[in-house]
A and B are shown apart, each in its own frame.
Chain A
């Protein structure tokens, strides 16, 4: 599922808004109580580079046979997002920063395919299935209040927000208006400007 570039944040109760995290989009497959695959944009498998997630993610799930969609991130010593550390980790430096997975969607749960269900239902299921841990969390989101989230995130120095239609199914290829990437006006980027430097890597063909 590929987002569409929007123009600016807006308010609409039909959408769920969350941060566009400055990381790498990834899908995590947990089966048999193990993280068996971590598929990241531009990489065959990021499991080796993000080995710590294999230790934590399965233990934070209340059910098995789950496919999560989200973001791989790296935090610096101060707990801030750091794209340089992320790049180093993706390049094989296993000691670069502290890895994290922020889940934003759930595609399979308890062995059932949830992709044909509305995003709102998938999201509710995700929040029920994944418990927040030190390295894995569900991305915090606001329904309808895109401009409010934009104001909050501009203070963080993030460069964009995500807007997903709550009634949209998960679908392969371009998302149309079901998923928008809305750039922020970085009015207050002073402390952590590097957070806005989002590295967008091409997703492999046919990956959805």
Chain B
């Protein structure tokens, strides 16, 4: 958790920051294969040829090959950054995908306002939401100044840390001949129809990590003393089955047409049956 304040202009909103995501994978420990005990990672100094304690280490910056300068906690604390305990809002931008710099995200954090700043916090959230804006800001996290975007999210706001522009690779190395590709109107229309037919509302709840679930099932069986079953591979059906399915689909489409025609005939018959009565009524 991180504690600080959102700052823009003369406004200061005290907030707490919580990681919004967690690693979803299954964690393993490294064991010694012969005794199945957990191994330990020792910190080794090749100069003294001995294992040392982590508390005996310091951080060093390699300013030249093999030459280091030690950077202490005091040095880090003395860094004259405005953003040390602040989420310093630099500007507001339209929260659209055109702001491509905001697409290279590192991590997401939930914000929780301190009680004293709750009103200003939700005021900022509502203004961002109504105007479709995203706040671009700076924050120091993990000893590094980070670029971040602040957006309304559900009942709070979400801070996503971004890669600095010089951390984003250029596209020059890729072969992207978009200018040379000729797309016919009919091809584009077909693609648009396909996209339209598959367009829906994204709900992350509908997606699951199937691999993780399957791996957990294997682990649970081993814990219970069972031998994991090898993955079953169903024998594929062949191309004649596919043709048979196609034939069935054609037959179904033909039947649908017959039914639709029959319905039309029934409707026409009903209309004809009613029509004379209406005429009679009119002439009566």
B240 at the interface (CB under 8 A from A): yes
A24 at the interface (CB under 8 A from B): no
Q: Is the CB of A75 within 8 A of B242?
A: yes
Q: How many A-B residue pairs have CB under 8 A?
A: 96
Q: Is the CB of A79 within 8 A of B198?
A: no
Bound CA span A79–B194, Å: 23
Residues in chain B near residue A78, CB distance under 8 A? 234, 236-237
User: Which of B186, B235, B239 has the largest count of A CB atoms less than 10 A from its CB?
Assistant: B239
Q: Is the CB of B186 within 8 A of A100?
A: no
Q: Is the CB of B197 within 8 A of A19?
A: no
A203 at the interface (CB under 8 A from B): no
Q: Is the CB of B252 within 8 A of A152?
A: yes
Interface size on B, residues (CB 8 A): 30
Interface size on A, residues (CB 8 A): 43
B190 at the interface (CB under 8 A from A): yes
Residues in chain A near residue B187, CB distance under 8 A? 5, 183
Residues in chain B near residue A102, CB distance under 8 A? 239
Residues in chain B near residue A149, CB distance under 8 A? 250, 253
B254 at the interface (CB under 8 A from A): yes
Residues in chain A near residue B252, CB distance under 8 A? 152, 155
Tell whether A155 pairs with B253 under 8 Å between CB atoms, given A77-B233, A186-B197, A196-B194. Answer: yes
Bound CA span A98–B242, Å: 13
Nearest-Cβ distance from residue A74 to partner chain B, whole angstroms: 10
Q: Is the CB of B249 within 8 A of A155?
A: yes
Q: Is the CB of A185 within 8 A of B241?
A: no
Interface flags for B137-159 (1: CB within 8 Å of A; 0: not) read: 00000000000000000000000
Tell whether A148 pairs with B240 under 8 Å between CB atoms, given A5-B186, A7-B186, A189-B198. Answer: no
Chain A residues with CB under 8 Å of chain B are 5-7, 19, 73, 75-81, 97-98, 100, 102, 132-137, 139-140, 142, 148-149, 151-153, 155-156, 159-160, 183-189, 193, 196
